[in-house]
Amino acid sequence: MTYGYARVSSLEQNEDRQLIALGKAGVRKRRLYVDKQSGKDFQRPQYQKLVKRLKPDDLLCVQSIDRLGRNYAEILDQWRLLTKEMGVDIYVLDMPLLDTRRGKDLMGTFLSDIVLQVLSFVAENERANILQRQAQGIAAARERGVRFGRPTVPMPENFPQVVERWEGGVISFEEAMAESGLSYGTFYRRLREYRRLVGAVDDEEELAEGEVEAEMEAAVVNEAVVNEEGAV
């Protein structure tokens, strides 16, 4: 049986180019396995599923060695596992020398091992370079004032009315969150901003974040106690 394996590093990337190449190599669609995950190790669901299906004399095709993985030591370990222990042949499409069906004599094996080690090293080195470039790009962006993470959720227009009704006991804390469309953490952050805006808390006497959170937790507990007593 001939199987194909393709890999891209993220959900946003497209694996079509690899699939087309594998199809031209004779791999049928039902025997194609694709992971959208980093090549730093081999703990990938589709790859693991593929290995369990492989049998002696099967052929595994990959477009290039870096699609198999980007960890030098682990690529060599997986290659030995597949070819030596499981008796599976491997064909790297863009490197004809890495076709274990050919040159199975001593010299052919020697040359394949050399090429494999060189390409595996190159794959891992490229991954290290990518990570370094990413870190440099993030650092440069931060210097320019670019902010990373979740975007700030603005204060809803109805927030003053919601806070007034909640603090007056008209609605519960859960109802206040629902009406404002905010999560627990975002609600109390917007509450601190609101109190600062209306002058309820002076900048020099601003409540510590933990105190505000504790205040709201206490309110939730009190509401739960009241509700429980009312239900008894």
Mean residue pLDDT of the chain comes to 78
What is the pLDDT, as a whole number, of residue 207?
A: 44
Report how far residue 151's alpha carbon sits from residue 132's, in angstroms, rounded to the nearest whole number: 25
At 225, is the pLDDT very low, low, confident or very high (cuts 50, 70, 90)?
Answer: very low
Concatenated DSSP letters of 1-51? -EEEEEEESSTTS--HHHHHHHHHTT--GGGEEEEES-SSSS--HHHHHHH
62: containing domain: 2-132
Considering only 42-46, 104-108, 194-198, 205-209, which range has the smallest mean pLDDT? 205-209
The CATH number given to whatever domain includes residue 89 is 3.40.50.1390
Q: Enter the tokens of residue 74.
A: 């682990």
Q: pLDDT tens, 67-91? A: 888 787 888 888 888 888 898 999 9
- Do 122 and 16 share a structural domain? yes
Could you identify the residue written with the tokens 């669901």?
45
CA distances from 99 to 29, 88, 104, 121 (A): 21, 11, 10, 18
- Do 183 and 122 share a structural domain? no
Binning the chain into helix, strand and coil, the percentages to the nearest 5 are 55, 10, 35
Query: CA quadruple 116, 118, 121, 123: dihedral positive or negative?
Result: negative
- Do 115 and 48 share a structural domain? yes
List active site positions. Answer: 9
Q: pLDDT tens, 13-22? A: 889 999 999 9
CA distances from 78 to 2, 74, 219 (A): 18, 6, 57
CA distances from 39 to 17, 86, 155 (A): 18, 22, 41
Question: Structurally, how many domains does the chain consist of?
Answer: 2
- Do 123 and 58 share a structural domain? yes
136 vs 42, which has greater pLDDT? 42
- Given a cut of 50, whether residue 25 has pLDDT beyond it is yes
Q: Is residue 150 part of a domain?
A: no
Q: pLDDT tens, 97-125? A: 788 887 665 554 555 677 677 766 666 76
Q: Is residue 143 part of a domain?
A: no
Q: Enter the tokens of residue 17.
A: 């180019």
What's this model's pTM, rounded to 2 decimal places? 0.52
Find which of 37-41, 47-51, 123-127, 176-180 is predicted with most confidence, using mean pLDDT.
47-51
- Given a cut of 70, whether residue 203 has pLDDT beyond it is no
Report how far residue 190's alpha carbon sits from residue 72's, in angstroms, rounded to the nearest whole number: 49
Q: Is residue 138 part of a domain?
A: no
